[in-house]
């Protein structure tokens, strides 16, 4: 069984994303899940790369009053193609159209994170650039038919079939594309990790 970090405060993930839960767990964090339900609209003239940080901060702030003595981690991921944000698709037809746009092109994925603590809120963002090969229509249709594209920004998961078989190049962190730049999260969390008092390894 994997060891987990001892933290100065209770740790809350303000997201019900199975990907974010998996990444945090594998990184050694114990946490409770309390999804933050907020308005995810943003100004139309806002720079696309700034949107996920703003939304992550909004999600973290929404839980501040009820969880004042905790660490609250919120995140938001956007897919940006030619300055257009591709959000979660409305339906399978919308998902297919998004994948057709991404096929054969390079797009940017930005994940914003916000960590609220009794000391205040800190934010960060991380970008990665993803290049898809030319995808066949049947490949995109087969993937969309399975339904897993519907809860993902840009209608795809880097860890799913279309990511495994379709991505030619990825510049940046895999985990940023998956939805949580864990190396940035760890940097923000490090001040709240209590020093380990474990016994020597004996090796």
CA dist 94 and 143 (Å) reads: 13
Query: Is residue 105 included in any domain, yes or no?
Result: yes
pLDDT averaged over consecutive 10-residue blocks of the chain (203 residues)? 87 95 96 91 92 96 92 97 94 98 98 96 98 98 95 95 97 97 97 72 53
Smallest CA-to-CA distance from 105 within 81, 84, 79 is with 81
CATH number, domain containing residue 33? 3.90.950.10
Query: Is residue 97 included in any domain, yes or no?
Result: yes
Helix locations, the chain, DSSP H? 18-26, 51-62, 92-102, 137-145, 161-166, 174-178, 182-189
Query: Is residue 160 included in any domain, yes or no?
Result: yes
Q: CB neighbours of 145 closer than 8 A, spacing ≥ 6?
A: 92
What positions carry a catalytic annotation?
76
Query: Is residue 113 included in any domain, yes or no?
Result: yes
For residue 202, the model assigns a pLDDT of 54
Query: Is residue 121 included in any domain, yes or no?
Result: yes
Find the domain containing 88 and state its range.
Answer: 11-192
Query: Is residue 162 included in any domain, yes or no?
Result: yes
CA dist 184 and 123 (Å) reads: 10
Query: Is residue 182 included in any domain, yes or no?
Result: yes
CA dist 148 and 152 (Å) reads: 8
Query: Is residue 148 included in any domain, yes or no?
Result: yes
Q: What is the DSSP letter of 119?
A: T
For residue 40, the model assigns a pLDDT of 84
CA dist 181 and 113 (Å) reads: 8
For residue 199, the model assigns a pLDDT of 47
The token pair that represents 59 in the structure block: 């999600």
Domain count, the chain: 1
For residue 198, the model assigns a pLDDT of 54
Q: What is the DSSP letter of 2?
A: -
Q: Give the up-direction half-sphere exposure of residue 113: CA atoms within 13 A in the CB hemisphere.
A: 23
For residue 68, the model assigns a pLDDT of 87
């Amino acid at each position: 069984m994997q060891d987990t970090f001892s933290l100065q405060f209770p740790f809350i993930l303000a997201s019900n994303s199975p990907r974010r839960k998996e990444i945090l767990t594998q990184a050694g964090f114990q946490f409770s899940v309390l999804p933050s339900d907020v308005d995810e609209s943003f100004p139309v003239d806002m720079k696309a790369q700034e949107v996920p940080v703003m939304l992550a901060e909004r999600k973290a702030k929404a839980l501040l009053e009820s969880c004042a003595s905790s660490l609250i981690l919120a995140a938001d991921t956007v897919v940006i193609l030619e300055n257009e944000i591709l959000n979660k698709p409305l339906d399978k037809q919308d998902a297919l159209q998004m994948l057709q746009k991404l096929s054969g092109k390079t797009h940017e994925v930005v994940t914003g994170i916000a960590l609220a603590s009794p000391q205040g809120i800190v934010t960060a963002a991380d970008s990665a650039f993803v290049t898809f090969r030319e995808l066949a229509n049947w490949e995109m249709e087969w993937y969309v038919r399975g339904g897993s594209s519907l809860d993902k920004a840009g209608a795809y998961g880097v860890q799913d079939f279309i990511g495994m078989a379709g991505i030619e190049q990825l510049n940046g962190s895999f985990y940023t594309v998956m939805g949580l730049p864990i190396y940035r999260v760890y940097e923000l969390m490090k001040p709240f990790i209590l020093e380990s008092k474990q016994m020597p390894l004996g090796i």
